[in-house]
């Protein structure tokens, strides 16, 4: 199971580069067989080679000090985020566990060929714990209801401005407006939204008023630990979002001039790129002069926050809509918006005033 034989000729020493490559190939096969995506496997392999280059040592020569120096460099010099370094640590830890596993013969072969064995260099002492309930950047925030209305109004106006000025791009501006509304209307990540197709739309028997826009099937959900994309069904909540998507699909999308399966295509036949959507959004935000902290993911954050703080939706319902495995993840998105805080404070003041007036009337009798 994973045994490797490094051929030697006479007294010639075994080639450590060949041994390392064979080891990496075996590790890659093991990860691929456990349903890790190719992108994740490539990224993990790159981390191992990065540590080899940084430390100047082969994996069987690694020490805990090598790991300490590498992770400190990632945080202190390269200024990588906690989540990124934690992912790096997970990749190195996984590699060391594989190399040390007695069910494979890598440690035995390594001892025979190089007189050294593998060891686990990522420990509880140098590993970033996953203890923070909210690892998101503190400057990220949700849209207020007023900001969303202003943004959607400007996005709807943009195609008219393009046509009036004689410039190209009116159809793509309409597409991007529909995409932004879809991201918010169903709480989608940008990758989930831009990969939607017409077959992903269906009726909801419990809400027939939405027609075939009652359920959105997400097939490009965020993968778990590098596995295949997760799928989920998101139920339509607001009638206006269903109407906005319907208008795009039935009246504007056919203007591309050929049968299309993707909801948000480009003239080249591909789906709209995330970088393009982000540039478009940033242009609108700059024009509107909004405070920083909102991005494409803010549509998803705002969807969750507005459902819970605005409509009083149950957290478990929002958790299912967003596709979160744990309610604690959903709680990251539910920070009260300024609108909700002002309304809540107003209600508290009214209750306090009413209670004070009642008490005063009772004391004067």
Spatial contact of 318 and 330, defined as CB atoms under 8 Å apart: yes
What is the total count of domains within the chain? 2
Rounded CA-CA distance 40/47 in Å is 11
Considering the domain architecture, whether residues 284 and 153 belong to the same structural domain is answered as yes
The pLDDT, as a whole number, for residue 341 is 55
212 in a domain, yes or no?
yes
Which one of 73, 99, 114 terminates a domain? Answer: 114
Which DSSP symbol is given to 230? E
- Say whether both 86 and 173 belong to one domain: no
Helix or strand run (H / E) with residue 343? helix 338-364
234 and 109 in a common domain: no
Q: Which of 98-112, 117-131, 133-147, 335-349 has the highest mean pLDDT?
A: 98-112
pLDDT at 65: 95
pLDDT at 262 over 80: yes
At residue 232, the 3 state secondary structure works out as strand
Res 358: pLDDT:
75
pTM above 0.75, yes or no: no
User: Which among 30, 32, 31, 4 is positioned nearest to 18, based on CA atoms?
Assistant: 4
Query: Residue 216, SS3?
Result: strand
pLDDT given for residue 301 in this prediction: 93
Same domain, 165 and 299: yes
> To the nearest whole number, what is the mean pLDDT of the chain?
87
**CA–CA dist 72, 290 (Å, integer):** 36
Separation of alpha carbons 117 and 99, rounded Å:
9
* Helix orientation angle between 82-100 and 38-55, rounded to the nearest 10 degrees: 90
- Better pLDDT: 355 or 75: 75
Structure tokens at 155: 């996005």
In a domain, 7, yes or no: no
CB contact burial 55-72 (16+ within 10 A = b; e otherwise): beebbbebeeebbeebbe
CATH label of the domain that carries residue 318 = 1.10.443.10
Residue 210 class from Cβ within 10 Å (0-12 exposed, 13-18 middle, 19+ buried)?
buried
- Using a pLDDT cut of 70, give the percent of the chain over it: 85
Average pLDDT score over residue span 333-345:
57
Report the alpha-carbon distance of residue 129 to residue 134 in Å, rounded. Answer: 13
In this structure, the answer to whether residues 202 and 285 fall within a common structural domain is yes
Final residue of a structural domain among 91, 114, 137: 114
CATH number for position 69? 1.10.150
State the virtual CA torsion across 82, 87, 90, 95 in degrees, nearest 10.
-140
- Give domain status of residue 198, yes or no: yes
Are 75 and 158 in the same domain?
no
Q: List pLDDT tens digits, range 183-229.
A: 999 999 999 999 999 999 999 999 999 999 999 999 998 876 656 78
Same domain for 237 and 276, yes or no, is yes
CB 231 within 8 A of CB 217: yes
What would you measure as the largest C-alpha separation in the chain, in angstroms?
Answer: 111
Q: What band does 260 get if pLDDT is binned at 50, 70 and 90?
A: confident
Rounded distance, CA 309 to CA 321, Å? 16
CA distance 156 to 266: 18
Q: What percent of the chain stands above pLDDT 90?
A: 66
* The pLDDT of residue 295 is above 90: yes
Q: Is residue 2 part of a domain?
A: no
Q: Is residue 134 part of a domain?
A: no
Q: Is position 352 within any domain?
A: no
Q: Are residues 26 and 110 in the same domain?
A: yes
Domain membership of residue 182 as a residue range = 145-334
Q: Decide: 264 and 196 in contact? Cβ < 8 Å.
A: yes
pLDDT of residue 38: 85
The CB-side HSE value for 51 (13 A sphere, CA atoms) comes to 32
Residue 329 resides in a domain: yes
Please tell me whether residues 175 and 276 are part of one structural domain.
yes
Residue 8 within a domain: no
Same domain as 151, residue 107: no
Tens digit of each residue's pLDDT (9 = 90 or more) over 30-72? 998 887 888 889 999 999 999 999 999 999 999 999 999 999 9
Whether residues 97 and 244 fall in one domain: no
Query: Where is the domain boundary, 94, 114, 134?
Result: 114
Calpha distance 280→275 (Å, rounded): 9
Same domain? For 56 and 152 the reply is: no
């Amino acid at each position: 199971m994973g045994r490797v034989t490094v051929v030697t000729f006479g007294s010639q020493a075994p080639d450590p580069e060949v041994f390392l490559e064979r080891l990496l190939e075996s590790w890659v096969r093991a990860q691929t067989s456990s349903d890790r995506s190719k992108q994740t496997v490539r990224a993990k392999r790159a981390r191992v080679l990065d540590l080899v280059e940084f430390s100047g040592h082969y994996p069987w020569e690694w020490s805990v000090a090598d790991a300490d120096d590498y992770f400190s460099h990632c945080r202190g010099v390269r200024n990588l985020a906690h989540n990124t370094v934690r992912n790096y640590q997970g990749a190195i830890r996984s590699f060391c566990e594989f190399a040390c596993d007695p069910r494979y013969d890598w440690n035995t072969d390594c001892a025979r060929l190089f007189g050294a064995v593998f060891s686990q260099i990522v420990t509880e002492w140098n590993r970033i714990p996953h203890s923070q309930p909210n690892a998101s950047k503190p400057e990220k925030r949700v849209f207020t209801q007023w900001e969303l209305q202003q943004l959607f109004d400007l996005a709807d106006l943009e195609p008219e401005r393009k046509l009036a000025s004689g410039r190209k791009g009116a159809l793509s501006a309409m597409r991007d407006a529909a995409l932004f509304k879809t991201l918010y209307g169903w709480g989608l990540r940008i990758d989930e939204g831009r990969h939607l197709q017409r077959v992903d739309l269906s009726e909801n028997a419990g809400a027939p008023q939405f027609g075939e826009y009652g359920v959105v099937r997400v097939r490009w959900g965020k993968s778990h630990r590098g596995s295949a994309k997760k799928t989920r069904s998101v139920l339509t909540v607001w009638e206006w979002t269903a109407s906005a998507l319907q208008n795009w699909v039935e009246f504007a999308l056919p203007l591309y001039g050929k049968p299309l399966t993707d909801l948000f295509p480009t003239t080249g036949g591909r789906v709209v790129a995330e970088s393009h959507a982000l540039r478009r959004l940033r242009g609108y935000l700059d024009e509107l002069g909004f405070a920083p902290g909102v991005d494409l993911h803010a549509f998803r954050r705002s969807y969750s926050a507005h459902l819970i703080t605005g409509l009083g939706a149950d957290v478990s319902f929002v958790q299912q809509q967003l596709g979160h495995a744990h309610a604690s993840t959903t709680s990251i998105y539910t920070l009260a918006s300024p609108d909700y805080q002002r309304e809540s404070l107003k209600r508290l003041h009214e209750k306090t005033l009413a209670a004070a007036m009642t008490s005063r009337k009772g004391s004067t009798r």
